[in-house]
Amino acid sequence: MRVLAVDPGLTRCGVGVVATGQGSTLQIVTVGVIRTSADLPLHERLHELRVELDAVFERTQPDAVAVERMFARHDVSTIMGTAQASAVPMLAAAERGLPLGLHTPSEVKAAVTGNGRADKAQVTTMVTRILGLEVAPRPADAADALALAICHHWRGGGLARRGAGTDGASTAPAAVAYRQAAAAAARRSRSASKTYRDALGAASQSAPATRPANRGVRP
């Protein structure tokens, strides 16, 4: 299953395609950012976005589409542009008869990191780990699009799983990946602490012994 995910925006629109690999793994197909100039009229910017997205659809042949669900914010001008841009991949999905999933930012964060309030750095770190990337995706719009695709795989179909293991820990892929990442970080921290303690011990053993100064008072 291939999911084409779009983090909508007029200035920067993140696009990522993630597919199922062997077993329950996920692998990246492509990722990028579509940019349009603020100097262009709105309809021309939307047209440019549509042309670029059509090319990604034709090149990757996705089975489903995921778009970030809009939510109310105070910056009306920004939210309006984002809402207008989000209609483009929705229309493209409808024309191709592809299923469409809408996910809020908090849903995506919770699916990928296990924390609905995770910051962008945490999301990027987990996306890099889940997809087995050597380099973290940049800019943030690209990482957000990949996170959205992962979320749709796990929550909207594809690899969606629920339940808990015999120890009560969640077996959802995001939770498992998060625990593995935390465990690896803890091991690195313990190893660094041990190395530091060993170095201090070796230094203290090799240091020459010093004789206490004679502080007696001469008669």
For residue 171, name the pLDDT band (cuts at 50, 70, 90): very low
Of 48, 107, 141, 144, catalytic: 141
Per the annotation, the verdict on 198 as an active-site residue is no
Q: Tell me the per-residue pLDDT of 142-152, one tens digit each, with 9 for 90 and over.
A: 999 999 999 99
Is residue 69 domain-shared with residue 101, that is, in the same domain?
yes
> How many angstroms separate the most distant Cα atoms in the chain?
107
Is residue 38 domain-shared with residue 117, that is, in the same domain?
yes
Is position 219 within any domain?
no
Q: Tell me the per-residue pLDDT of 101-140, one tens digit each, with 9 for 90 and over.
A: 999 999 999 999 999 999 999 999 999 999 999 999 999 9
Is residue 115 domain-shared with residue 179, that is, in the same domain?
no
- Sorted by sequence, the CB contacts under 8 Å of residue 107 that are 6+ apart come out as 69, 116, 151, 155
Q: Tell me the per-residue pLDDT of 84-109, one tens digit each, with 9 for 90 and over.
A: 999 999 999 999 999 999 999 999 99
Is position 86 within any domain?
yes
Is residue 178 domain-shared with residue 154, that is, in the same domain?
no
Residue 178 belongs to what domain range? 163-204
Number of domains in the chain: 2
Of 7, 48, 107, 144, catalytic: 7
Q: Helix 42-60 vs helix 76-96: angle between axes, to the nearest 10 degrees? A: 40
Per the annotation, the verdict on 68 as an active-site residue is yes
Q: How many CB atoms lie within 10 A of CB 31?
A: 22
Res. 186: pLDDT tops 80: no
Answering whether pTM is above 0.85, one says: no
Q: Tell me the per-residue pLDDT of 21-71, one tens digit each, with 9 for 90 and over.
A: 877 799 999 999 999 999 999 999 999 999 999 999 999 999 999 999 987
Is residue 109 domain-shared with residue 136, that is, in the same domain?
yes
Is position 138 within any domain?
yes
Per the annotation, the verdict on 141 as an active-site residue is yes
Of 48, 68, 107, 144, catalytic: 68
